[in-house]
A and B are shown apart, each in its own frame.
Chain A
């Protein structure tokens, strides 16, 4: 005789529980947190390097850099002047989960920190399932990728609040269509805030910096 037992629980309930704790702690400390996601090579680390260099004397920032292997990204951020940078080497895992984020956050002195960046592993699929307790997900796309990326990864672009389109200095050298990528992104998520930038030339970065200033109560 078979016996059916109702369970009704979220598969990732343990992850969500830890994420809720992180969110509560950051909120209590009035720390704004952004989870950066993208394909490999879109420019997450470059954007953070630029941001650190431009704002480190204005905004107290902490950074967590997730990588499948190596601490190279974290080292780049330390070299860019990051005072509180923590690497997470996932050892093969394709995403950060809340437990990894919790451990990294716990190793940072959060006193006075206003803005926390979590640089996720380069991957637009797996990180979408894992809440890290962040305020917002920021998705990067670059102009060397397909302009249909939002349509290919709807789960991620639906969960993101912001997209940053990087490498606009290369527009025209590929078939990437700026109007099309925006249309595709807004079709998935009409509330997306969009930045167009080039980490290489600095174009558009002032708007990004001003947005970070406003997030942390400036201007």
Chain B
């Protein structure tokens, strides 16, 4: 359950940004989370909701863009989506591939009221 720590990191970054920009209330926090990030989105929401009451983020909503795993085959050079965590090129069946997307754990934007 490291999502609580992740939620704390997000809250800290947002509060810092609010101080910098002189914002008082946040409506939305935009995140980008890859399927390979190791973060469970429901747990993250739960962690976030349990720490924000009484803070300036009490009314903030997490808007999560989920990112699928995309690979690039190092053998045939083609790009493909990795389904069901089968990391095999569907074109040439090579397992030698680079992960192009899916590892994201990014704070993308905040929307102030």
What is A's interface to B at a CB cutoff of 8 Å? 2-12, 14, 93-95, 97, 125-126, 128-130, 151, 154-156, 158, 186-191
Contacts and interface: CB of A to CB of B under 8 A. Distances in A.
Contacts of A95: 2
Contacts, number: 96
Contacts of B27: 2
Given A2-B113, A9-B13, A12-B9, A190 B87 contact: yes
Nearest to A130: B2
A190 B106 contact: no
Interface in B60-98: 85-88, 94-97
A11 B10 contact: yes
Nearest to A10: B106
B9 A14 contact: yes
A7 B107 contact: yes
Contacts of B96: 190-191
Interface of B: 1-2, 5-6, 9-10, 13, 17, 21, 23, 27, 31, 36-39, 85-88, 94-97, 99, 105-113
Question: DSSP majority for the A interface?
Answer: mixed
A111 to B, nearest CB: 33
B53 to A, nearest CB: 21
Given A95-B2, A186-B95, A191-B96, A3 B13 contact: no
B23 to A, nearest CB: 8
Contacts of B5: 93, 97
A93 B37 CA distance: 18
B87 A7 contact: no
Contact of A7 (B39, B88, B95, B110): B110
B88 A5 contact: no
A83 B109 CA distance: 48
B38 A155 contact: yes
